[in-house]
Amino acid sequence: MALRSEALKDAPVFASATGRPLAPSHIDRVVKRAARAAELENAMNVSAHWFRHSHATHALDEGVPVHLVQATLGHTSLDTTSKYLHVSPDRSSGEVLVKRWSEPF
């Protein structure tokens, strides 16, 4: 299964009214403005990259295979993707396995 069709592979995630890709600096300004409007405690540290990082972290936390997250993010090296792996003190591999095996097939 392809992650994105060839037609969409190079399509910008954030586009201007004319359909051209927005500059990363513009996207960061929009994200920071939204963070300030939401009165986030650390609004000035928020960046557009947080969306990418959050997606990868949550996907891995929910059991999405690391090689699929690697492909989704376009990483050539698994070492790069492994930076998104975080160990939560309240989770264990046993917990995930019990959940998986208790679900109906």
**Does 19 lie in the same domain as 68?**
no
Eight-class DSSP state of 81: H
How far CA 45 is from CA of 32, 35, 50, 75, 91, in Å, comes to 8, 9, 10, 24, 27
Pairwise CA distance, residues 55 & 12, whole Å:
17
Give residue 1's pLDDT band: very low, low, confident or very high (50, 70, 90): very low
Residue 62 lies in a domain: yes
Residues 89 and 60 in one domain: yes
Q: Could you tell me which of 105, 102, 94, 70 has the C-alpha nearest to residue 84?
A: 70
Residues 34 and 69 in one domain: no
Q: What number is the average pLDDT over the span 65-73? A: 91
Indicate yes or no: pTM above 0.75: no
Let me know whether 92 and 41 are in one domain: no
Together in a domain, 25 and 70: no
Q: pLDDT, tens digit, for every residue of 3-53?
A: 555 556 677 878 888 988 889 899 999 999 999 999 988 888 888 888 888
Q: Give residue 68's pLDDT.
A: 93
Q: What is the pLDDT of residue 3?
A: 52
Domain enclosing residue 104, as ranges: 49-105
- Which amino acid does the sequence have at 53? H
Whether 37 and 62 share a structural domain:
no
Are residue 74 and residue 88 in the same domain, yes or no?
Answer: yes
Helix 49-61 crosses helix 66-73 at what angle (to 10 degrees)? 160
Query: Is residue 1, in this structure, part of any structural domain at all?
Result: no
